[in-house]
Structure 1
Amino acid sequence: MTQRIAVVDPGSGNLASVLRALDRAAADAGIPIAAAVTRDAAAVAAADRIVLPGQGAFAACMRGLAALPDMIGTLEARIAAGTPLLGICVGMQIMAERGLEHGATPGLGWIGGEIAPMAPRGPDGAPLPLPQMGWNTLDPAAGGHALLTGIRPGDHAYFVHSYALTGYKPAEVLATTDYGGPVVAIVGRGNIAGTQFHVEKSAAVGLRILANFLRWAP
C-alpha cells in the first residue's frame, strides 16, 4: 500500500531536496510512497505521514505556518490521532515552546524548551564559528529509538544553525552532537520527532533516518 507523505511548505523549507531524499530513501527501502509538497490543510489531514521542513529564522517560519489556513490545527489533530511527523532543521525548532531569534516568538509547544542563541567555545576558551556549518557526529541517547535504527555513535550528519534547543526535557532528546559542548541533534516524543540537522543533506545517514521514519510505527 502506497504511503501518502505530506511535506508541509511554511515558505522557508528546502523542499525539492526533501522530496528527492524521501523518494530515494523509499526506493532504497522498497517502500512505496507518494510524497508531495503542500500548503493545503486538507492534504495534511489525508496524509499517512507528515514532514515539516524549515530554513531561515524561527519567527519567519512560524509566521509562514500560521498563515496557512487551518494548518496548525490540522497538524495538531493529526498528531493527536497518532500520525507520525518529522520536523527538519527550523521545522524541528518550531516544535519547541518558543524561539529567541529576532525577539521571543511562541512556538508550537510540542516539545519542551526554547530555541536560544548558541555560544560555543573550543577547548582553549575561544569562541567557535557560527553558524555551526558542516558535518558533525551524532551521539544517540541510551535506550535507542526506531528512527535511529542502524545509526552508530560517531556517524555524521550535516548541520547549519546558530540557535539550538535549551531548557529541554531530557526524555525528549534522542541524540546530541558536540559543538563546544553537547547540542541537541534529534528530539522526539510519542509519534513526533525532529532533527536539528538536514536529513536531506546528510547522505547515507540522512537516508537511513528517512527510511526509518517511513517504517516507524509509534
Structure 2
Amino acid sequence: MSTIAIIDYGMGNLRSVAKALEQVAPQAQVLVTQQRDDILRADRVVFPGQGSIRDCMRELAHWNLTEVVREAALNKPFLGLCLGPQALLAFSEENGGVECLNVLPGRVVWFGELCDPQTGERLKVPHMGWNQVHQIGNHPLWQGISQDSRFYFVHSYYLQSAEPSLVVGETWYGFNFASAIARDNIFAVQFHPEKSAQAGLRLLANFADWNP
C-alpha cells in the first residue's frame, strides 16, 4: 500500500484534504502528520495551508518542518495547495515581506493595487469563488480534466513565477495570473482541489497515481 502524507503544521483544512484523498485513492494510506519520519518515508507528500505566510513559516519552524518540506519537495511526488505553492517560492509581499522556502524561483504579490481593465475598478480582494483554469501543456495531473475547468479559489496574493516555463495553469482575474506551477516532481496550485467538485477530485486522483 502506498502512503500519502499530508503535512500538519497547524494550518489549513487538513481533514477535508484527507477525506478527498481517501475518496479518490482508497488503495493508499493517507496520513495527516507532523512527524519527520512519516513525511520522509511517504510515497507522496501534500503541503496544504490557509492563512498568512508569516504564520505558515513560523509554524513550519516551530514544528521543525522547514527542512523536511524542502527535502520532500526535492525527492518525491509533492503537491502544494493554496498557501502551499506560495510558501514554495522565494519571497512573499504579505505581512510586510516574508522570506519563504525558495524551492521554486519567484515571489508572491498582492492583488489589491490592480484594476480590472474592462471596468477600471480595483479588483475585489480576496479573489474568492469559482474560476476557470487554463491548462498550459500536457501535465499528467491535468489528465481527464477539461480545458478551462472551474476550480474554487480563496486568496489575496498570487504567484509570480520567475521562470515562465514553470507555469502550467493560468486564471483570469483582471489579468492572467499563474494558478498552477510545476517542475519535475512538484505540482502546486493556488486553488483548493478538495473544494472543487469533480475536477478537483480528478486532480487529486491523478496525483495519487503520479510517478514523475
SS of match in other structure, 2:42: coil
Mapped to 2, the partners of 1:167 and 1:18 lie a distance apart of 25
What's 2:7 paired with?
Answer: 8
Amino acid at match of 1:196: Q
Query: Mind listing any 5+ residue stretches in structure 1 that lack a counterpart?
Result: none
What's 2:17 paired with?
Answer: 18
Mapped to 2, the partners of 1:163 and 1:116 lie a distance apart of 5
SS of match in other structure, 1:175: strand
What's 1:89 paired with?
Answer: 82
Asked if the contact 1:155–1:205 (Cα under 8 Å) also holds between the matched residues in 2, the reply is: yes
What's 2:61 paired with?
Answer: 66
Q: How much identity, in percent, do the aligned residues show?
A: 38
- Aligned mate of 2:130, from 130, 135, 154: 135
Mapped to 1, the partners of 2:181 and 2:144 lie a distance apart of 17
What's 2:175 paired with?
Answer: 181
Query: Mind listing any 5+ residue stretches in structure 2 that lack a counterpart?
Result: none
Deviations 1:143-166 (A, max 9, x none): 310111112222100000110012
Q: CA deviation at 1:120?
A: 4.2
Asked if the contact 2:105–2:161 (Cα under 8 Å) also holds between the matched residues in 1, the reply is: yes
Asked if the contact 1:122–1:128 (Cα under 8 Å) also holds between the matched residues in 2, the reply is: no
Q: CA deviation at 1:77?
A: 2.6
1:145 is the counterpart of 2:139: yes
Mapped to 2, the partners of 1:75 and 1:58 lie a distance apart of 15
Superposition TM-score, scaled by structure 1 size = 0.92
Superposition TM-score, scaled by structure 2 size = 0.95
Deviations 1:88-116 (A, max 9, x none): 00011101101111111111111121111
- Paired residues in the alignment total 210
1:99 is the counterpart of 2:92: yes
Amino acid at match of 1:124: T
What's 1:110 paired with?
Answer: 103
